[in-house]
Amino acid sequence: MADKQEFLTYKGYPLVRNGNTIYFGNTYDPYVVTMKIASTRPQNGQTLTDKVIVQLLNTDPSVRPRERIVKTSEKKGLFAAMDIAYIWLARYNKEA
């Protein structure tokens, strides 16, 4: 029997990272967000996220892949990307 896996969450939505891509939201909701880390920069011995491409995606499998991208934005820093991602998820999943 498989154990239930717990995900890291942010404001009630699960976060899953795969390489430089972060998936944000529940896949059973109408919309999820992907955040692709486009560039990083060193600061005080650490690597910080510099540029993030944020995309709101429709999860409906009947929609063609190119039409699944609902919104796209480029943000400076991970905090700004997470902020807009949360706003989009809350707004679009509520309307659906």
Mean pLDDT (whole number) for 52-74: 94
- Do 25 and 88 meet the contact criterion of CB atoms below 8 Å apart? no
Domain range holding 64? 8-95
Number of domains in the chain: 1
pLDDT over threshold 80, residue 95: no
pLDDT digits (tens, 9 = 90+) for 17-37: 999 999 999 989 999 999 999
Could you tell me the two tokens for 58?
Answer: 């429709």
**What is the average per-residue pLDDT within 5-28?**
90
Domain annotation covers residue 2: no
Give me the pLDDT at residue 85, please.
96
> Does residue 26 sit within a domain?
yes
Global confidence as pTM: 0.86
- Distance of alpha carbon 44 from alpha carbon 42, whole angstroms: 7
For residue 84, give Cα distances in angstroms to 55, 62, 91.
10, 26, 11
3-state secondary structure of 63: coil
DSSP state, residue 45: T
- Could you give the 3-state DSSP secondary structure of residue 22? strand
